[in-house]
Amino acid sequence: MSRDEAAGDATRRSVLAQLARDEGGPVFAEPWQAAAFALAERLCAQGHFTRGEWAAALADELKLDARRGASDDGSRYYHSWLAALERLVIAKGLSDHATLLARKNAWADAYRNTPHGKPVELQEQPRSA
């Protein structure tokens, strides 16, 4: 194991230790965290990237957060998870930055325009040929 891999493992263990847990392990504070987790697991299971690639991408994002002075209390962990996932999705050609940004903006518009207490519904985006 390289020094960078060992540092990444130590960073992950430190952050994971601070996440909310129940008897089964870490729990998600918000639904989007569970969705990001499930999507990363699914893409990995489908062979779009390896567990090693995933671990390296997440370690890189956690290191970037640490360099930026982000809180190390675990509150940013799934933000790093999502950033790593987006980076891999783009690197593997599953999507591109512009498409991801357009989808994020569509979600932001949808939740800003949804009355309180109502479910947020995203309009289906036309697929490009």
In which domain, by residue range, is 14 found? 3-112
- Answer with the residue of higher pLDDT: 43 or 25: 43
DSSP state of 12: H
Q: Domain for residue 117, yes or no?
A: no
- What percent of the chain has a predicted confidence (pLDDT) above 90? 43
Q: Domain for residue 118, yes or no?
A: no
| pLDDT at 21 (0 to 100) | 59
Contact 61, 83 (CB under 8 A): yes
Domain count of the fold of the chain: 1
- Output the domain CATH number for residue 24: 1.10.472
Q: Domain for residue 126, yes or no?
A: no
Instruction: Say if residue 13's pLDDT is above 60.
Output: no
| pLDDT at 52 (0 to 100) | 93
Q: Domain for residue 25, yes or no?
A: yes
Q: Domain for residue 127, yes or no?
A: no
Helices (H) and strands (E) in the chain, counts: 5, 2
Region 106-113 average pLDDT: 90
Residue 8's pLDDT band, with cuts at 50, 70 and 90, is very low
Instruction: Say if residue 73's pLDDT is above 80.
Output: no
